Homo-oligomer: A and B are copies of this chain.
Amino acid sequence: MDIRDVAKRARVSTATVSRTVNRVATVDAQLAKRVWKAIDELGYYPNRQARALVSGRSRVFGLIVSEITNPFFPEIVQTFETLAVEHNYEILLTSTIHDPKRMELAVRRMIEGRVDGVAILTFGMEDELLEHLRFRNLPLVFIDVGPKAPRVSNIRVDYAHGIRQAVQHLAAMRHERIGFVTGPLKLRSAVARRDAFEESMREIGLTVKPEFIVQGDHRLEGGKLAFQKLHQLREQPTALLCSNDMTAIGVMRQAFELSIAVPQQLSVVGFDDTRLADFMIPPLTTIQMSQTELARLAFDALYKEVKRETPSPVGTEYHLKTQLVLRRSTTFPPNTTPAKSRTIAKGTKQNDTSTAD
């Protein structure tokens, strides 16, 4: 069941079938109709491999993420896939699971698959592997950390904005002892978030106690451990910013074990605004970094680069904003008389799906 069968049945050449299928304008309407009819009757589906081989373009984009099981990524994968399908692309999905072997494998798979471009959304790709990929001068798109080079685009995330909003939000409610649970500090994004926090605190005239900054790992466990540590402090923070939602959930979870009520005794703010945030009890106030937008930018970057007749000399820079989303895990610090109703920093999103309040 190949193009030749179709050609035979429609009494045309394979070239005409090919042109018809690819909607080349120069084919006569009558013939095209015959061809489509034959295709339909035979149930013909073109062979992607053969197409790729001869045309030199596979219509596949690679997508490298760190872990699909990290709630941050499914949304991205979904959006990316939807976009891909719309443009008749396939996606070659790979997760590195923070494993150097898997990273190497990932690169190998991309090359063997002759992908037309790859989006690297791992927040910390080994540089050497990056070299391998760049070597082929494929269109590439990174988040945050990419090098400036031909055909490689970058999505720069403005971590500071959302974090500043969060700090202001907390400060407006008279929190003074505000802590921060970081991510793994080998990730540039984790460092950036922590730095933005310290910066915002300074801006607003609050001091950050070194012991209020404790390291997590962007996973549940790290959040739990971090809070346990914090809990042993003589003087404890009344509010905690976390480097991502998982961390915040870990904190809340551990607070629960220690019978500390969130938000009455402890305000918690997450980062990412994964869907989980709105699943939590109480719903988590967090800083949104739109996963769908991120996926969209990444796809666009690749797609545009593929479409270019001449490679971009130095890839495009994209920007992604962050923004505080108020839910229910923050309130006034304990032993405080609420002066007025809940303070809302300007530009903040009210995104509480609760039906009662």
Contact = CB atoms under 8 A, between A and B. Distances in A.
Interface of A: 43, 45-50, 52-53, 58, 67-69, 71, 73-75, 77-78, 81-82, 85, 90-95, 97, 102, 105, 108-109, 111-114, 135, 220, 224, 228, 249, 252-254, 256-258, 275-276, 278-283, 354-356
A139 to B, nearest CB: 18
A53 B49 contact: yes
Contacts of A43: 135
Binding site secondary structure of chain A: helix
B46 A49 contact: no
B81 A77 contact: no
Given A69-B78, A73-B74, A112 B279 contact: no
B69 A257 contact: no
Q: Which of A112, A114, A249, A276 has the most CB of B within 10 A?
A: A112
A156 B220 CA distance: 32
A58 B92 CA distance: 14
29 contacts: A45-B112, A47-B53, A48-B112, A48-B114, A49-B49, A50-B53, A68-B77, A68-B81, A69-B275, A71-B71, A78-B95, A81-B94, A81-B95, A82-B97, A85-B102, A85-B105, A85-B109, A90-B113, A93-B93, A220-B279, A224-B355, A249-B279, A253-B283, A256-B282, A276-B276, A276-B279, A279-B279, A279-B280, A281-B281
Contacts of A355: 224, 228, 254, 257
Top 8 nearest A-B pairs by Cβ distance?
A: A49-B49, A257-B356, A49-B52, A45-B111, A68-B74, A69-B74, A49-B53, A256-B281
